Amino acid sequence: MNIEDFNFYLDESLIALYPAEPRDNSKLLHLKKNNTITDSYFYNLPDLLNKGDTLVINETKVIPTFLKGHRYRGVNKANISINLIKKINQHSWDVLLKPLRKIKVGDNIEFEEVIGFPSVCAKIISINDENIVRIQFTINSLSLDDWIQKIGNVPLPPYIKSKRPIGENDVASYQTIYAKENGSVAAPTAGLHFTDSVMNRLEEKGINICKLTLHVGTGTFLPIKTDNILNHKMHSEWGQLDSNSVDILNKTKKNGKKIIAVGTTSLRLLETACNDNGFFSSYEGETDIYITPGYQFKAIDSLITNFHLPKSSLFVLVASLYGIENIKNAYKHAIDNMYRFYSYGDVCFIEKND
């Protein structure tokens, strides 16, 4: 299956640099089972659901993983930007680092001093074929987590940071209102549209809110670089689905009601924790599930998700759910009608298309 089957043209002007204000005023494109498309707004989400349906949200919380430091070699100094992408152990992280040409294995990156912490530096341990750099910090895990919270900045996607500075508003707007568990290096963006008003209306209508945690890594958003999409290697992410959530989900199934995943992160963990008969078990651990056309969805009936990059594993996922040509037609409608794309953009409500 060729990657060009999942390509489309998107004008740069449609890439959102700021979120809708208020959040729930983002546009919502409803993709129905019969391949019809309806334009709406996110604040109308409760009208698309029925009493007894279950909405599954990801409670992961974005940590401030964008760091700035300096590499010294004698009197030579280089400014270094670091995006933490995955914690490896008590001292080490895998990171994306720029400019990569300015560092080599064995170099040390020094950081500004933070009140209450010792001076911190990070040693370059390795650089792999995908240009992912492993660094080892000089402080232990507990102190390191606290230090990152103090010195780190909001990890906005590079296409936003290259166009505008990070603002104070981004600290709140790049976090879901229900974020709880520290661990993500990127936001579960489908959840960014929720407001207290929408949540209250869902509760009043009798919609179940089911919670899970999947810590988002940047690998989820990387474009596929192989010609055949089946040769793409999916990065793993840690997730947890507890017994209380399992009970809600299985009861929803038994009652013949619908399960709606908020975001591809929720969907991927639900599909991982679901058996062939469509019922769930508790789960804790890594998942590297990679969903491509032909996949038989067992866990969910619908998906709420933002508009994704061409040639990305996320666009492949939504094509698997709704059909390649159907999703291309839907994206063309979105482009023609000036929907806003990517992390701060608008949203799709996609019904599983059998």
Give tens-digit pLDDT for 193-215: 999 999 999 999 999 999 999 99
pLDDT-derived band at 219 (thresholds 50, 70, 90) equals: confident
% of the chain exceeding 70 in pLDDT: 99
Q: Evaluate if pTM is beyond 0.75.
A: yes
Concatenated DSSP letters for 108-133? Answer: EEE----TTS---EEEEEEE-TT--E
Q: Give yes or no: residues 217 and 312 share one domain.
A: yes
Inside any domain, residue 258: yes
Query: Nearest Cα to 286, choosing from 234, 239, 219, 216?
Result: 239
Q: Give yes or no: residues 236 and 322 share one domain.
A: yes
Residue 142 has pLDDT above 80, yes or no: no
Inside any domain, residue 191: yes
Q: Give yes or no: residues 214 and 298 share one domain.
A: yes
Distance (Å, rounded) from C-alpha 6 to C-alpha 313?
9
Quote the radius of gyration of the chain (alpha carbons, Å). 21
pLDDT of residue 140: 64
Interhelix angle 313-322/324-336, rounded to 10 degrees, is 110
Inside any domain, residue 163: no
Residue 126 has pLDDT above 90, yes or no: yes
pLDDT of residue 53: 98
Q: Give yes or no: residues 180 and 315 share one domain.
A: yes
pLDDT of residue 227: 95
Q: Give yes or no: residues 125 and 264 share one domain.
A: no
Distance (Å, rounded) from C-alpha 65 to C-alpha 84?
5
Q: Give yes or no: residues 83 and 180 share one domain.
A: no
Lowest-confidence segment of 39-43, 85-89, 273-277, 287-291 by average pLDDT: 85-89
Residue 116 has pLDDT above 90, yes or no: no
Inside any domain, residue 161: no
Inside any domain, residue 160: no
Domain that holds residue 275: 3-62+171-351
* CATH number of the domain that residue 113 is part of: 2.40.10.240
Q: Give yes or no: residues 238 and 201 share one domain.
A: yes
pLDDT-derived band at 181 (thresholds 50, 70, 90) equals: very high
Choose one of 152, 180, 207: the last residue of a domain. Answer: 152
Inside any domain, residue 126: yes
pLDDT of residue 307: 98
Lowest-confidence segment of 48-57, 161-170, 276-285 by average pLDDT: 161-170
pLDDT of residue 235: 86
Residue 30 has pLDDT above 80, yes or no: yes
Q: Give yes or no: residues 98 and 232 share one domain.
A: no
Q: Give yes or no: residues 274 and 212 share one domain.
A: yes
Residue 272 has pLDDT above 90, yes or no: yes
Residue 220 has pLDDT above 80, yes or no: no
